[in-house]
Amino acid sequence: MVAVCLPGTGGMLPTENRWLSCCWIEYQGKALLIDCGEGTQIALRKSGCKLSHLDLLLFTHFHADHIAGLPGLLLTLGNSGKRTPLTIAGPMGLKKVVDALSVIAPIVPYPLVINELEEKDKNFEHNGLQFSFLPLKHGIPCFGYSIILKRKPIFNPDKAAALKIPKSSYKTLHEGKTICLEDRRIIRPEMVLDGERQPIKICYFTDTIKLDAMREFAWGADLLISEGMHAEEEQQGLMAQRGHMLFSDSATLAKEAGVKKLWLTHYSPALTNPEQFIDKAQHIFFETAAGFDGIRENF
């Protein structure tokens, strides 16, 4: 099971009712966070995210509303008892930015592992999850992310019982490993499994205009999280100039990419009630939700 939460859904600056956009994904007791604007550590706690689980921090790009909260988060993690390494990944230039921001948080009681992502690589793996990243268009280097969890086949206990396999061996077989029983019988995983399950796929896009490459990148995702800076079509020209998407852009992308569900995020501070305009997106892609601070779902 993968748990997904949006502790913040705002763009540009935090407001009285909305923290800055970020995404928390947790799997098997480990968590990753996408982006870290001002006050993110507070948003995480308000949303019930356990900071002690965080071991990977991804950055989409280096604008302040996505990265300026890093020093505070690093210090909060240390004060919360973190001692294990924190991996920080993002576009090239990440180390320089992290070093600069860390001037005001120079000492933390855990190692930082910096991973600058080169566009030619496209993929990496962490904690059993597979990551892909896609260059977007926002005036500075900016990445969209795809996170894929390959799920184990379904284990059939009835098949295992019929073969008189000790329950202590169930986990080994479920992990795809062959075992040899005391009576010298060889039991292969396929003898007790019921076939493959589809992987879980989550995609995250903010701060970009809509690009054709995003459609293939997000294809078939269980959840697409994508920005809706404004809802009104009259803002289209201005948003294109500034490298942002409207509700309709993300909804069209969700429809074209055949995703199962869309959460809108990264709202303009001027957009005080996104739910009021959700029909503009749902008319294009019905399974659209106006993301809000603390929205959460398990997959």
Tell whether 266 is in a known binding site.
yes
- Name 176's Cβ contacts closer than 8 Å, sequence gap at least 6: 152, 189
Tell me if 126 is assigned to a ligand binding site.
no
Residue 174 annotated as part of some ligand binding site: no
65 in a known ligand binding site: yes
Annotated binding residue at 66? Answer: yes
Three-class secondary structure of residue 46 per DSSP: helix
Is 222 annotated to bind ligand? no
CA 258 vs CA 21, 225, 246, 248, 287: distances in Å: 24, 14, 19, 15, 11
Lookup: tokens for 37: 């604007």
Active site residues: 65
SS3 (DSSP) at 257? coil
- Torsion sign over Cα 292, 293, 297, 299: positive
E-strand ranges in 119-250 read: 123-126, 129-135, 143-149, 179-180, 186-187, 200-205, 223-227
Residue 53 marked ligand-binding:
no
Distance CA 293, CA 281 (A): 19
- How many beta carbons lie within 10 A of that of residue 255, not counting itself? 17
Binding residues are: 61, 63, 65-66, 138, 207, 266
Binding residues for Zn(2+) are: 61, 63, 65-66, 138, 207, 266
